[in-house]
Amino acid sequence: MSSFDDLSERETPRYEDGSSREQLSAFSASPRPFTSGILTGAERDDLRQRVVDARVRTKELIGVYLASSARLTAALARHREAEVAREDARAALSATVARYAVLLRALGEPPERTLVLIKSAFSEATPHQNEDSRAALEDVVKWIVEAYYAA
């Protein structure tokens, strides 16, 4: 097991740019080198001030951390709600598309015409095509074919 003296004598790790972690931190927890084992009055005052500074910074960072954690928790909750709403909308769309395909087949529409009619409705609902709308159209076409031939 290492002693404090062994740990303090080890070389400080350096980053690729040559800086050390202590140089990057505004508040270092590593002690300043003292010349003897007994602290002078000035060194003790300096150490007390560093303790006060560390406490203040700790309290600040606790607040920052908790606020950040709260924002993340809220964002994750919104994401879960949006995901549930998306899945509900997808299920409703699938059911409606299947019903539309079955009704068109009942009217005697051939499968090609059914595809054209549903793709036309899709294009009217989504005038701007993007990756999401193209993926949705693929799903709609799959649902149409499945429903049309299942009827």
Q: Domain limits of the chain?
A: 82-150
Short-list 148, 146, 141, CA closest to 101: 148
Q: What percent of the chain has pLDDT over 70?
A: 75
- Tell me the CA distances in angstroms from 39 to 8, 29, 32, 36, 45, one per residue in order: 17, 17, 12, 7, 9
With cut-offs at 50, 70 and 90, classify the pLDDT of residue 127: confident
pLDDT for position 123: 93
pLDDT for position 25: 52
pLDDT for position 35: 59
pLDDT for position 31: 54
- Tens digit of each residue's pLDDT (9 = 90 or more) over 91-107: 999 999 999 999 999 99
Q: DSSP assignment, residue 13?
A: P
Helix or strand (DSSP H, E) at 34: none
* Rounded-to-integer distance, Cα 111 and Cα 142, Å: 12
Torsional sign, CA 70, 75, 81, 83: negative
